[in-house]
Chains A and B, each alone.
Chain A
Amino acid sequence: MDGASPSVMLGMLAGVAVDDGGADDLLEQRSARDRPRLALEPRHATIIILILVLALSLSLTLLVQQGVRLSSMSWDEGATRASDAPSASPPASSSSPGPTSSESSSAPSDTGSPNEPSATPSPTPTTTSTLIDLNTATAEQLQTIKGIGPVTAQRIIDHRAEIGRYTSVDQLLDVTGIGAKTLEKIRPYVEVRS
């Protein structure tokens, strides 16, 4: 009893259960964990790698999603530019086969703009223009334009058969059912290719 120090005695008395280690053990338990957690389990490492790859694929998907329909954007000025109607062909004319379209089509498939396949329902698989040619369009193609229904599309085709071919977009005014307002609405989507 003389050889045992006070803290060992206290340790022998301080436990509750049979296998309690005493005060020293309690102290060690309290101060045992003092380092931040840095080690990775194998399955955690796998999960983390999978999450990283998921984030990467999400990022690449967002990059790829640039292909908005160019033709559906309103490039034209609208009614305020009615005075320039004869010269309205510049904004409505075909985009020339510039190096841009070939550049975007030569880019690898994942960043190649899906603008190409979703471009326009024109029959010619050309990348030059995204507008519908009035002289070669079918009724279905005309109906894809907002503002032209089946009846109007048929009337346009009938008028084309009457006069032979359209020489200007403004000749659509002669078609019954198409007035000035409707013409301004559909002008950005149609053209006359001579």
Chain B
Amino acid sequence: MTGARVRLARRRICRRPYRSREQGSRDWRMLPCVIAVWSALLIEHTAFGGIIADSSPDVTSVTGATSMAWHVIGLVLPAGIALMAMIALLMIVRRNRRHCNRRGHRNRRHRHRRRRIRRRFAVPYRHGIVIVAAMACACVSGSADDLVRSADPIARTVADGGGDAVVIGMATAPMTTAALRDADCQTDVRVQGVAVDRIRSPSSITVRVYASGRSCIFRQGAVYRISGTLRQPRFGEASAWLIVDDGAGAAGPRASEIREPAWWRRAGTAMQESFIRVTRSLPDHAQVLVPGLTLGVLGQDTVMTPWTTSMRSSDAADTYAAAAADVDEGYAQRLEDDFKQAGIMHLMAVSGSHFVLVAMLVRRVCARFLIPRWATSVGIVGAYAMLAVLVYPSDSVLRAAIMGMGGVACLLVGRRAQALSGLNWTVIFTLLIEPSMARSYGFALSCTAVYGLVLCGDVVTRFLRGFMPRPVADTMAVTVAAQIFALPVQVMMTPQLPVLAVPANMIVAPFVAFSTIAGLLSLCVSWAIPPLGSAFAWAACLGTLPLERCATLIGGSRFSAMPWREGVTGAVVVALAELIVPLTIMAVRALARSVIHETLRRPAHGYNHSARDDADDGTPYRARYMERAGAWWRETRAMLFERDVGDVQH
């Protein structure tokens, strides 16, 4: 009888319309849009690749395929817009007709049922319209981007088999050590114009430049004229490679700077380089890890530009310039491999945690001095801008910066920021404005990690708090929740399962925030007061020692990574496995609960139920493992360490 009443109450709650059960603080409205936009971009890119590949592989017909694609887009696009307009019109017309038809029907019950059906389908209908609009916008944006890329002269030259070219473009990334064996440095250049066979044409894609020797003069933000050889990339996400040789021959310098970077960019580069110089005086592991934790680039990958080295070499008494020795290559490579095996390599990339730390710092300082809200938000915007300029650029930095700006906007207006809502809009805007981000692994990893944290963090925390002490449960919940959606993407990148990633992350979690803050402080002061910067860098070095130990221990062991299937199939298998585990847990718990209820209820048949009717609403209290363990510990402690016999409670 009691069970029936509980079931009736639950059914009453469930029968309430969904709209009145919605919580405003969990805003999931744009989530279907995000999924629609991202999948539409991926499908469009695959389809575009298919269209281009279907046409004959002859070079001259790349233009033919491009014009054919233009015709397809030219037909599909207006048709799509017309379809959308029609559907919107239908939606409006139907609503008006519903108002007008109130008197025209004979059968009132029939009319009520139709109205109820129409109302029940109105909400998914509207949502469907928005999803269709989002997919259409994504398709248009993606196809326009793909078309421009495929019609680019550099893309055509590369498809031709490569060739010599003179490229004018802006360096968008600082110089780092080259991944190619026969080059010294690499950078990314956003091309403005290219001259192939003395034919000059505008261009807009980003090429990866590999240079060596005296041609390694690239500064972030400067415009260069580079002459080299265009090649098809063998790996990586760039659309073309430009190989620049040494320039030691009679041909003269192969890369020359046309325009200086902006003043803030120059200042940022100078601050980065003085920080890296400071870290060169630390022990080996800190030379590699402290720049990684702070700037997002490992110590052995940094390359100094000639400007700061020439500035420094004139100052012979400057010990920091003299100590700028190179990092031990072999050791650094082994350490990097250990980090990847252990599954903690994500710490070496700048992510939202940097921005969150900086924002928290600024907020605390402003709260201490009772600074008004608008000034705090201006301060946070300034701090974000500085951070974005100082760290090495990457897609996860872009995501974190945009999301952070959204949060600052909420602070300015005075509303509470919602992480999921901000993330949804960040992803939608980024993907619509830059459709190639849909295929970027850095962006995907960053977004999926935050989605996992936001969507599943609470559930996992509640579940784990039943088994282990609160701080341990919270740390583990963060790790597990972040990995939930990011693991399939990671498996697509490297076909390996990081089995020991969760314990590794839990071991290093307490030290990361402290090291990051110390590193950022060192970055801020090293250009002005090198000894103070060195002191902060030593603090960061102490924080990175546990990281190094953990990576060597866990990453070096044989069980740290399990080989897995490659590609999309591997990712799908991982996703299915992740789905099955919580379902199994829930099924086992439900089974156990029903068994226990059955065994408990059997002796209770003779009771008078009427007196206990209303007392049985809600779920019965069940002590969790942690609570039972805590009670046992308290009693044991009282029993063993009692001071007075009267203290023990029986």
Q: What is the interface of chain A, defined by CB distance below 8 A to chain B?
A: 5-8, 28, 31-42, 44-45, 48-49, 52-53, 55-56, 58-60, 62-63, 66-68, 70, 73-75, 77-78, 80-81, 90-91, 93, 95-96, 98-101, 103-104, 106-108, 111, 113, 115, 130
Contact = CB atoms under 8 A, between A and B. Distances in A.
Interface stretch (B121-129, B324-332, B503-511): B121-129
Given A37-B28, A59-B432, A73-B258, 19 more contacts: A7-B615, A35-B22, A35-B23, A36-B26, A37-B29, A40-B123, A42-B91, A52-B134, A55-B137, A56-B140, A58-B433, A59-B433, A66-B148, A70-B202, A73-B193, A74-B168, A101-B201, A103-B63, A107-B151
Interface residues of B, number: 66
A70 B23 contact: no
B28 A98 contact: no
A78 B256 contact: yes
Interface in B429-483: 429, 432-435
A194 to B, nearest CB: 17
A56 B202 CA distance: 23
A90 B201 contact: no
Contacts of B74: 108
A90 to B, nearest CB: 7
Contacts of B432: 52, 55-56, 58-59
A144 B168 CA distance: 22
A115 B225 contact: no
Nearest to B23: A33
The 3 closest A-B CB pairs, nearest first, are A36-B26, A55-B432, A36-B28
B166 A75 contact: yes
Contacts of A108: 70, 74
Interface in B25-55: 26-30, 33
26 contacts: A5-B614, A28-B13, A31-B13, A33-B20, A35-B26, A38-B127, A39-B22, A39-B123, A40-B127, A45-B127, A49-B130, A52-B133, A52-B137, A52-B428, A58-B433, A62-B433, A70-B193, A73-B192, A73-B193, A75-B200, A95-B199, A100-B201, A101-B201, A104-B201, A107-B70, A111-B147
Nearest to A97: B199
A73 B166 CA distance: 12
A58 B144 CA distance: 12
Contacts of A6: 614-615
B161 interface: no
A189 B30 CA distance: 52
A100 to B, nearest CB: 4
B645 interface: no
B145 interface: yes
Interface of B: 13, 16, 18-24, 26-30, 33, 63, 67, 70, 74, 91, 95, 123, 126-127, 129-130, 133-134, 137, 140-141, 144-145, 147-148, 151, 153, 166, 168, 192-193, 195, 197-204, 225, 252-253, 256, 258, 428-429, 432-435, 611, 613-615, 617
Most buried by A among B29, B33, B123: B29
Contacts of A49: 129-130, 133
Nearest to A35: B21
Nearest to B140: A56
Nearest to B37: A52
Nearest to A67: B202
Contacts of B141: 56, 59-60
B144 to A, nearest CB: 6
A68 B194 CA distance: 12
Most buried by A among B22, B24, B74, B435: B22
A108 B71 CA distance: 10
A68 B204 CA distance: 10
A77 B166 CA distance: 11
Contact of A5 (B26, B70, B153, B611): B611
Contacts of B202: 66-68, 70, 104, 113, 115
B21 A32 contact: yes
Contact of A60 (B27, B30, B144): B144
A55 B22 contact: no
Contacts of B137: 52-53, 55-56
Given A59-B433, A66-B202, A66-B203, A39 B127 contact: yes
A43 B258 CA distance: 51
Contact of B27 (A36, A59, A107): A36
Nearest to B434: A59
Contact of B22 (A33, A58, A66, A68): A33
A37 B24 contact: yes
A129 to B, nearest CB: 10
Given A37-B27, A52-B134, A103 B151 contact: yes
B493 to A, nearest CB: 27
B35 to A, nearest CB: 13
B357 to A, nearest CB: 28
B145 A63 contact: yes
Contacts of A95: 195, 198-200
Given A36-B26, A39-B22, A45 B126 contact: yes
B29 A35 contact: no
A52 B136 CA distance: 10
Contact of B199 (A40, A66, A74, A96): A96
A34 B21 contact: yes
Nearest to A106: B67
B529 to A, nearest CB: 39
Nearest to B124: A39
B415 to A, nearest CB: 15
Contacts of B199: 95-96, 98, 100
A100 B153 contact: yes
Contacts of B129: 45, 49
Nearest to B60: A99
A41 B126 CA distance: 8
B146 to A, nearest CB: 11
A90 B225 CA distance: 17
B30 to A, nearest CB: 8
